[in-house]
Amino acid sequence: MANSGFQLLGYFLALGGWIGIISTTALPQWKQSSYAGDAIIMAVGLYEGLWMSCASQSTGQVQCKIFDSLLSLDVHIQTCRALMVISVLMGFIGIIVSVVGMKCTKVGDNNPLTKSRIAVTGGALFLIAGVCTLVSVSWYATQVSYHFFDPNTPINARYEFGSALFVGWAAASLTILGGAFLCCSCSKEDRRGQQYYRQSQPSTAREAELLSETSFPD
């Protein structure tokens, strides 16, 4: 029962992290214009994501433009796009596989060891999704930091971390934690139970033979 609750906790943590990964992928606030410096007054706030760049005016009006060309983008943006898409796909597959493998569900094989292995597979998929998200967000943040501290970058062209990066770090942490819980759900008790199940099959067959001989004596 405790192991089943452990699986359920890991599943919901990973599910929440996967939703955060989707939000991080879609949000345009991966980096935002910096207001650091002397006498910098900006009436327009600029922020940029993986798919579009936006401008927010002081009146509250926001205008966004989707990137026209994929090949003209920087390498780190293209790579981050690919990693985030892989994270979303791995998380989606992990959700389906984990549901089949959890003990609290009646889906799939009734063999406890087989279901535990399926749950571990789902946890591994969540781990892959979380690691891909962590690498993508951290790499993007490294590029933002590099250009911010680069003396050749004009002060009015510097960017800082956007809110999407913090959402991505939190989502990656939840997904990795939930995947780790699912990977640890295959306990020794399941293996002992499987061995006992295999050992009890011959004895059950012998009991059936004895009952048949007792019921129909020669």
Residue 12 has a pLDDT of: 94
Task: Give the model confidence (pLDDT) of 102-154 as tens digits.
Answer: 887 777 667 778 888 888 999 999 999 999 999 999 999 999 999 888 888 88
Kindly list the structural domains of the chain, giving each domain's residue range(s) and its CATH number in brackets, ordered by start: 2-29+71-195 (1.20.140.150)
Residue 44 has a pLDDT of: 75
User: Residue 210: is its pLDDT beyond 50?
Assistant: no
Which pLDDT band, with edges at 50, 70 and 90, does 77 fall under? very high
> Which letter, b or e, does each residue of 146-170 get, where b requires 16 or more Cβ atoms within 10 Å of its Cβ?
eebeeeeeeeeebbbbbebbebbbe
Which pLDDT band, with edges at 50, 70 and 90, does 181 fall under? very high
Residue 102 has a pLDDT of: 84
Residue 189 has a pLDDT of: 53
Contact 162, 32 (CB under 8 A): yes
User: Residue 43: is its pLDDT beyond 50?
Assistant: yes
User: Residue 202: is its pLDDT beyond 80?
Assistant: no
User: Residue 206: is its pLDDT beyond 50?
Assistant: no
Share of the chain above pLDDT 70, in %: 79
User: Residue 15: is its pLDDT beyond 90?
Assistant: yes
Beta bridge partners, 52, equal 66
Residue 87 has a pLDDT of: 97
Cα distance from N-terminal residue to C-terminal residue, the chain: 48
| E strand or H helix at 63 | strand 62-66
Calpha distance 183→10 (Å, rounded): 9
Average pLDDT across the chain, whole number: 82
pTM for this model (two decimals): 0.80
Question: Minimal CA–CA distance to 98: which of 116, 127, 119?
Answer: 119
Residue 7 has a pLDDT of: 87
Residue 1 has a pLDDT of: 47
Calpha distance 181→143 (Å, rounded): 32
| E strand or H helix at 197 | helix 188-215
Residue 41 has a pLDDT of: 52
Residue 46 has a pLDDT of: 87
Phi-psi region of 167 (alpha: psi -120 to 50; beta: other; left: phi over 0): alpha
Q: Which residue has the higher pLDDT, 59 or 1?
A: 59
Contact 185, 8 (CB under 8 A): no
Tokens 């984990």 locate to 98
